Amino acid sequence: MSLKNTKNSFGWISIILHWMMAIALIAMYFVGDWMVGLDYYNSWYKTAPDYHRAVGIIIGALMVFRLLWNVSQVKPKHLNPDDMRMNKLASATHYLFYLLVFIMVVSGYLVSTAKGQGVDVFGLFEIPALFSDSDDGGELAGDIHKWLGLGFILLVAMHAMAALVHHFKYKDRTLKRMLGLD
Ligand code: HEM
C-alpha cells in the first residue's frame, strides 16, 4: 500500500491521521469530562487541564494538516455507488466531524483565554490570548465546549456503529480499507 490515496483505497498517511485523531479526540472527551470534576487537592487538578489544552492545540494543528492533506489527495470511490442516500449521509458526517472539531478547538481556546492568559503548549510555545476580557464570553464558550463535546462523542458512537454495520452486515470493505487491510 502506498503513502498516498488511490481511487480504490486510502494511503497510509490518511489512515494514520484518521486513527491518531480518533484516539486523541476520544481521549480528549473523557479526560475533559473527568478533569472538570476533580477537586482542588487532587494532584491532577492543574496538570490535567494543562495537558488537555496543550493536546487540544496540537489536535487543531493536525486537523489543519489533515484538511490540506485530504484536498491534495484523490478521494477513494464510494463502495456502494448506487446508494446515493447512504453516500450523502457519510459525506455529511465527515463534514460535521470537521466542523465539530474546529468548534471544540476554538471554544476550548476561548474558554482558556477568557481571563487574558495564553495557552502554554508543553512549555514549547504559547498561544496568546487574543479575545479576552469578557467573563460572559468565556462562560458561553464553556457551554458550547461542553454541549458540542457531547454531540461530538455521540457522532463518534454513530460513526463507529456505521463502520461495524458495513463490516458485519453488508460485509463490504469500508472498515478494512480504513485499517489498511484491503
Ligand atoms: C479538540 C477536542 C476537544 C475535546 C473533545 C474536548 C472535550 C472537553 C470536555 C468533554 C470537557 C468537559 C466539559 C464540561 O463538562 O464542562 C472539556 C473541558 C475543557 N476543555 Fe476541552 N476539549 C477539546 C479541546 C480543547 C482545547 C483545544 C482547549 C484549549 C485550548 C480545551 C480546554 C478546555 C478547558 C479549559 C476545559 C474546562 C472548562 C471548564 O472548566 O468549564 N479543550 N473539554
| pLDDT tens figures, 152-182 | 999 999 999 999 999 999 999 999 999 999 7
Average pLDDT, the chain: 96
Triad 12, 16, 22: Cα angle to 5°: 150
Altogether, the residues listed in the chain come to a count of 182
- Cα four-point dihedral sign 168, 172, 173, 178: negative
Beta bridge mates, 119:
127
pTM: 0.94
Q: Cell match 472498515: residue?
A: 175
pLDDT at 179: 97
3-state secondary structure of 180: coil
Whether pLDDT at 134 is above 70: no
pLDDT at 137: 86
Q: Cell match 461542553: residue?
A: 146
76 contacts 8 by C-beta, under 8 angstroms:
yes
What is the C-alpha to C-alpha distance for residues 36 and 55, in angstroms, rounded to an integer? 16
pLDDT at 172: 93
Kindly state if the Cβ of 56 falls inside 6 Å of ligand 1: yes
Which of the listed residues 145, 147, 150, 156 should we mutate to test ligand 1's pocket, taking the one with most ligand atoms within 8 A of CB? 145
For residue 152, the ligand 1 atom closest to its alpha carbon is 5
Cell of 85: 442516500
